[in-house]
Amino acid sequence: MMNVWGMTDIGLVRRENQDAYAVHVSDETGFTICVVCDGMGGPGGGRLASRLAVDAFLGACKANLQREMGWEQVREVTAFAVTAANTAVYERSCTGDGLRGMGTTLVSAVVREGEALLDNVGDSRAYLIRAGGGISRITRDHSVVERLVEQGSITEEEARSHPNRNIITRALGPDRSASSDSYRVSLEPGDSLLLCTDGLTGTVRDQELAQEIHGSGGDNQCLDRLLELAKAQGAPDNVTAVLLRRQ
C-alpha cells in the first residue's frame, strides 16, 4: 500500500502559480497515478498548459490502465498519456488566443505493488529515497545545463547557478509531437518517491530533501518543511511536490 501527499505553492516572487499536480488511487485497478507539471508561456499560458497536461495525462491513464496489465503494457499506456497531454496543450496553443508556444514539463509515477514506472519531459524530477538512507535522482533533466554536466563542461554545483539553468530542451506543447523518458524502479517497505518541480530542486539540495523525508514521521509535515526551506532560500519560482511512500 502507498501513502501519498502533495502540495503546491506560488512561492515568494511569481504572480501566479503555473504548476499543477494530480493524484489518483484506484482500488479497481490497483494503480496509484501521480503527475506533476510546471507550465511556461507568459500570463495565463503556463497555468493553462500545466492544467491541460495534468488532466489529459491522468484521464488517459484512468481510461486505459487495467489490473492484469504487465509493465510493458503499462509503459505503452503512459507513453500514450504523454502524447495525449502534448496534444491537449499543442492544440489549445493553436487557437489564436495569444497562447502560441506555451508548454509544460511533466513528471509522473504509476505505482502498483511496490513497482513504479516513471516518465519525465523537461526538468521536473523524480527522486528515490530509500528507507535505510540515501537519495538518488531517477530522471534526467532535458535541459541545457544537464547536457553541459554530462559533457563535463560544468559541475552539478555550478549548474545550480548557471545563467542558462532554466532553459529546457524538451517540453509538452510547443511542438506537434513529444516523447518522454521512462524508468522503472522497485520500492521496498519504507521507500519513498518524490516528484517535484524545479522550484523545489532549485532551492533545496538533494541531501536536504532526503533529510526532511526521512524525518517526516509518515505525514505531510515533511512537504511543509521542504516548502519552508524553499522559501528561506527566496522561493523565486512556484514550488510543487508529490511524495509517495510504500508502507
Reported as a single tens digit per residue, the pLDDT across 75-130 is 999 999 999 999 999 999 998 778 988 999 999 999 999 999 999 999 999 999 99
Q: From CA 240, how far away is CA 242, in angstroms rounded?
A: 7
The pTM for the full model equals 0.95
Check if the beta carbon of residue 55 is closer than 8 Å to that of residue 88: yes
Check if the beta carbon of residue 111 is closer than 8 Å to that of residue 31: yes
> What are the backbone angles phi and psi of residue 65, rounded to the nearest 5°?
-75, 135
Give me the amino acid identity at 70: G
Q: Which residue in 199, 187, 191, 190 sits closest to 226, CA to CA?
A: 199
Q: What is the pLDDT, as a whole number, of residue 7?
A: 97
Q: What is the pLDDT, as a whole number, of residue 146?
A: 83
Q: From CA 79, how far away is CA 25, in angstroms rounded?
A: 19
Check if the beta carbon of residue 196 is closer than 8 Å to that of residue 125: yes
Helix ranges (DSSP H) in the chain: 45-64, 71-93, 144-151, 156-159, 198-201, 206-214, 221-232
Q: From CA 124, how far away is CA 126, in angstroms rounded?
A: 7
Q: What is the DSSP letter of 97?
A: S
Q: What is the pLDDT, as a whole number, of residue 158?
A: 83
Mean pLDDT of the chain: 93
Average pLDDT over residues 232-247: 95
Q: With 60 as the cut, is the pLDDT of residue 220 above it?
A: yes
Q: From CA 90, how far away is CA 104, in angstroms rounded?
A: 10
Q: Which residue in 75, 208, 74 sits closest to 129, CA to CA?
A: 208
Q: With 70 as the cut, is the pLDDT of residue 8 above it?
A: yes
